[in-house]
A and B are shown apart, each in its own frame.
Chain A
């Protein structure tokens, strides 16, 4: 199975800050990577697909990048409504696997 490792596991930042989360795959997955946002008590929501494509309706402050084994997810200017846990997910191989999540809090 492909292991997905996110860092950091948790992050505290101020409104307006630029926030970056990294996701590392245990083997080359090309750009077969998605990012999801999960707010407390809610279902996950797709934000970024194919590593860098913004899902329709998602604010442009969210972005993704990378390929191969190393990926980044960035919020350019943190907003209070961005408080959530973020997950990366690979689809290069079965089983589909997720990172362990990055919990984002407001400082």
Chain B
């Protein structure tokens, strides 16, 4: 069964304190790995898509990387406005065209 596990469930950082969020996956035939940001009561906002091991993408203070078993979302020098829940999702062959989501990591950045 295709599975996506995110860790930690919650992360509290001080402003400027860099860290990483983990997304590990077990899927048959990975077709893409997605990162989304979700603010409370809002819809997920697309951040990145990664397609193959070794691929990296960056956007402002965020950098996503992918290996054959997991993905990391690195947050460099975070600011309070980076506080949100970060969701990882995979598109896998067995699941057809659906995205399978992890439960997310809730990040809180304090000043």
Q: Do A and B bind each other?
A: no
